[in-house]
Structure 1
Amino acid sequence: MNILNIIYHLAVSLWVGGAALFTFVLTPILFRSESRDTAARIVGLFFPGYFRWGVVCGVVALATVFFRGEKFGLNIGILAMMLAFVSFQAFYIEPNAAILKQQIGSFEKTTKDHPLRQQFSRLHAFSATCNLAVIAGGVTLVVLF
């Protein structure tokens, strides 16, 4: 296996492994063990780095595919989709969600039907969907390619 293959597999594995660990292990533990506001604050501190980590891993993986001289195929399409989703999370959803969280102040004291909470919930749902798509794409890449 040449160095580009190793870098590719490492980038995809670190990306999907990190996303799975953050999504299915760390975040649920935080929300079970801390108050809603404390858990949200802690997770909010990690989100910018988490999404940018995904962008870096995606760019590295995509670059290695191109440097290997591969033609456009399913793996490049999946990588591009994953990179598009995580970039949207990093540069649109996360900054807007952070602003909304600041405006909301306390999720424990603000009712769920409050317009800012509803707007945050829509962003959160879209982000969660993007995150699951990235994980599913990554698992597909690891298994098939």
Structure 2
Amino acid sequence: MLVTLISFVHIFSLVFWIGSILFFSFLAAPAVFKALDREQAGEVVGILFPRYYKIGYVCGILTLITLILGSEMMREIKMLLLMVMLVATFFAGLVINPNARKLKARLKEPLSPTEREALEEKFRRTHSLAVKLNGLVLAAGLVFLWFTAEGLSL
């Protein structure tokens, strides 16, 4: 019974995390940017980001705990993938997202054209890094899920 509970929490947290990435990246964010002007869409997505990253924190920690508790096949590879996912998620949520929000706030202030251009470029680079880390978490998560599915019996 305990093994089943650990397995359930492990699979549920991993799939919920990956599902939230897929939903946000390929459905929610594009729909918001299509329905609203760029500025409003950025505001809405900015409100969602802290919750989005909290899902990753909670699901990642639950996945880690259950990976440690379970007697998993491919544990070392899965642990490496999970560490990549956790580090990328925490870095994006605790470092990149706050920096992007600060840059967005500064862009609303009166600026010289040179300052505005420099800040916009910095925001683009910050956003690009966040997108790349999100893709890395998704890719590592899908590989992790593949290795998890290998050991399942239906």
TM-score (normalizing by structure 1): 0.90
Quote the Cα distance in structure 2 between the aligned partners of 1:17 and 1:8: 14
Quote the Cα distance in structure 2 between the aligned partners of 1:120 and 1:67: 41
Quote the Cα distance in structure 1 between the aligned partners of 2:70 and 2:28: 35
Aligned residues: percent identity? Answer: 28
Structure 2 residue 97 is the aligned partner of structure 1 residue 94: yes
Deviations 1:11-39 (A, max 9, x none): 00000000110001110111111100000
Q: Give 1:105 deviation, angstroms.
A: 1.8
Gaps of 5+ in 2: 149-154
Deviations 1:53-112 (A, max 9, x none): 101110110011112255851111101100000000111001111111111129xxx89x
TM-score (normalizing by structure 2): 0.85
Matching residue within 4, 26, 38 for 2:28: 26
Matching residue within 45, 63, 66 for 1:64: 66
Moved over 6 A (4+): none
Aligned ranges 1:1-145 → 2 under 5 Å: 2-68=4-70, 72-105=75-108, 114-145=117-148
Quote the Cα distance in structure 1 between the aligned partners of 2:26 and 2:66: 28
Quote the Cα distance in structure 2 between the aligned partners of 1:2 and 1:69: 12
How many matched pairs? 141
Gaps of 5+ in 1: none
Quote the Cα distance in structure 1 between the aligned partners of 2:18 and 2:26: 12
Bigger radius of gyration, 1 or 2?
2
Q: Give 1:119 deviation, angstroms.
A: 0.6
Quote the Cα distance in structure 2 between the aligned partners of 1:69 and 1:118: 47
Secondary structure (helix, strand or coil) at the match of 1:114 reads: helix
Deviations 1:106-144 (A, max 9, x none): 9xxx89x71111111111000000001111111112222
Secondary structure (helix, strand or coil) at the match of 1:80 reads: helix
